[in-house]
Amino acid sequence: MPENASPNFTARFQGTTFDDMVEALTKGFGSFDAWRSGRDKPLDWKVGFWGDERLSLVSNQDSGGWGARTAHGTPETLAIIVPRTGALDVSFGRTVVEGTPGRLLLTNNLEPERVSVRATPHRSDTLSLSWTILAQTVAAVLEIPLTGSMDLAPVVDRSTAAGQMIGNLAQTMIVGMRNNGPLLHSPIAMLNLIQAFADLVVRLVPHRLSHLLDKKIHLIAPRHVRRAIEFMHANIAQPLTMHSVAEAAGISIRALEVGFRAFKGTTPSAYLRMIRLQAVREDLRDPSNRQPLRNICLKWGFLHFGRFAAIYRAAYGENPSDTRRRFDI
């Protein structure tokens, strides 16, 4: 899908007055102050939102020409802004960051002085990731608590490999959530994507703690890897983060990664994906399990059926449907 594409979304609210739009957006973003020149002029708008306090998506479409800033007391989030049509400006004191189609903006929602939507037809998607999750990821990856501003670079350069990864993952989450999408019905897949996105931001987007990524990590003992593997198997059906796995093993995430590469020749995430792939295969080999294949995939955290089928073929030399057919009674 092109990066500026945004399929129609199902409007949860729509109307023609600015005050009604602000009220609708408040339900998705939390409290904010908003203004518009000609506040009483007609304004065609529609708003849709999905998700929960960990990750939410707000899709909005309007005629533009208004501004806003987050109100005190609103929960702190990482705002991932994806403009689709029109343009907006995010102001940090004297610094103004332009948001146009093809760009992806990142900001702590409490830091901008204002966000100004230009007076042209506007449409955008905004993901709000709990700042607590990002702070936990910083602590787990960099082994230091996050205090104060992170000073994230506000614009993701989508011409780079890192920018493409972040942009593609954001688009996957948007498509998976929009219009009550499948991601909302797969807690394992949802948690995997949330953690992957937070991890990419900490590792790939420049910020004031980026220099700590170069800190040398000492090799852990094999017993830590064994503990991590035992924890994965015991909790395979639960939404797992690498933070919880590392915590169970008594080590940091980076030490866990180094240990898995040294003793297993793979990453912890890839190992967890492998044992979940085995769990899918066991479900397919069970003739009493009549769940649709797509539901089994979602159950074990595989959101993209086509990608899953390719991984399955590479691992087992047959299609998932072939496995099920062989064990059907």
Query: Which sequence spans correspond to the domains of the chain?
Result: 13-160
Distance of alpha carbon 205 from alpha carbon 223, whole angstroms: 33
Q: What is the pLDDT along the chain (329 residues), one digit of tens a residue?
A: 444 455 688 889 999 999 999 999 999 899 999 999 777 777 899 999 999 999 999 999 999 999 999 998 899 999 999 999 999 999 998 899 999 998 999 999 999 999 999 999 999 999 999 999 999 999 888 888 898 899 999 999 888 898 999 999 999 999 999 999 999 999 999 999 999 999 999 999 999 999 988 876 666 778 999 999 999 999 999 999 898 999 999 988 888 999 999 989 999 999 999 999 999 999 999 989 989 999 999 999 998 888 899 999 999 999 999 999 887 75
Distance of alpha carbon 228 from alpha carbon 39, whole angstroms: 57
Handedness of CA 26, 28, 31, 35 (dihedral sign): negative
Q: Which CATH number applies to 13-160: 1.10.8.290, 2.60.120.10, 3.30.2320.50, 3.30.1520.10?
A: 2.60.120.10
Q: With 0-12 CB in 10 A as exposed, 13-18 as middle and 19+ as buried, what is 23?
A: middle
H/E run at residue 132: helix 131-142
Would you state the pLDDT for residue 216?
A: 67
Contact between 120 and 87 (Cβ < 8 Å): yes
Q: Is 35 helix (H, G, I), strand (E, B) or coil?
A: strand
Would you state the pLDDT for residue 326?
A: 83
Contact between 40 and 68 (Cβ < 8 Å): no
Q: What DSSP assignment string belongs to 169-214?
A: HHHHHHHHHTTT-GGGG-HHHHHHHHHHHHHHHHHHS--TTGGGGG
Would you state the pLDDT for residue 218?
A: 66
Helices then strands, counting H and E runs in the chain, come out as 11, 12
